[in-house]
């Protein structure tokens, strides 16, 4: 059996508050309890420096820092290099997916998505739960 969802810490990053709410609600339905939300990459980096997260879930199209830039920043820091990172985005072209993969994304979800897809991608990171 995989992780203990009740103690797993997840940070969601999206500039649309609606999306933060939807993803947060879906995660809570799966039993996750420690969920933080921020609306931009810079705030995410600040939080990541002070709190040990088990997973980052991020949008791509954000300003001033895109989700890809956030990912690269996380991967370039030795302390956060292996922090699991799932991109949830409307960007669906092959080159986008490849760019995220090359930058070290753990998994990639395209919007619109469903709860089963989210659970599967989380399982790919944490193991079955």
Partner 1 sequence: MTFIKSIQELQKLIKNDQHKKTLFFSESFLKELVQLCHYTQKTKQKIQKIKLKNAKELPRIHNELIAIKSATVEATEKILIASEKIETLAKKLPKEQAQELYRYITAIYEACVFQDLTDQRLTTIGRVVKNLDKMIIQLAEFLQIDSLPSSLSDLGLCEDNTPFLRGPALPSEAPKQDDIDQIFKSKALL
CA 47 vs CA 53, 91, 108, 127: distances in Å: 9, 25, 22, 25
Cα-to-chain-centroid distance, residue 50 = 17
Confirm or reject binding of residue 90 to partner 1 (CB under 8 A).
yes
Q: Is 31 in the site for partner 1 (CB under 8 A)?
A: no
Of 3, 9, 22, 75, the residue at the interface with partner 1 (CB under 8 A) is 22
Tell me how far apart the alpha carbons of residues 120 and 118 are, in angstroms, rounded to a whole number.
5
Answer whether 57's CB lies under 8 Å from 11's CB: yes
Other Cβ atoms closer than 10 A to 68: 22
Segment interacting with partner 1, rule: CB under 8 A, options 32-40, 70-78, 94-102, 106-114: 106-114
Residue 25 contacts partner 1 per CB under 8 A: yes
Q: Does 113 bind partner 1 (CB under 8 A)?
A: yes
Q: Binder to partner 1 among 2, 4, 7, 29 (CB under 8 A)?
A: 29
Binding site for partner 1 (CB under 8 A): 16, 18-19, 21-22, 25-26, 29, 61, 90, 111-115
């Amino acid at each position: 059996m995989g992780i203990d969802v009740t103690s797993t810490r997840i940070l969601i990053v999206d500039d649309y508050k609606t999306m933060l709410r939807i993803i947060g609600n879906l995660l809570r339905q799966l039993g996750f309890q420690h969920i933080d939300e921020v609306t931009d990459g810079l705030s995410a980096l600040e939080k990541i420096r002070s709190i040990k997260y088990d997973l980052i879930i991020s949008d791509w199209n954000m300003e001033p820092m895109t989700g890809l830039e956030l990912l690269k920043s996380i991967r370039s820091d030795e302390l956060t290099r292996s922090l699991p990172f799932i991109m949830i985005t409307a960007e669906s072209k092959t080159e986008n997916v490849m760019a995220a993969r090359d930058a070290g994304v753990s998994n990639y979800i395209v919007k619109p998505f469903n709860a089963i897809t989210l659970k599967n991608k989380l399982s790919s990171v944490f193991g079955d739960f």
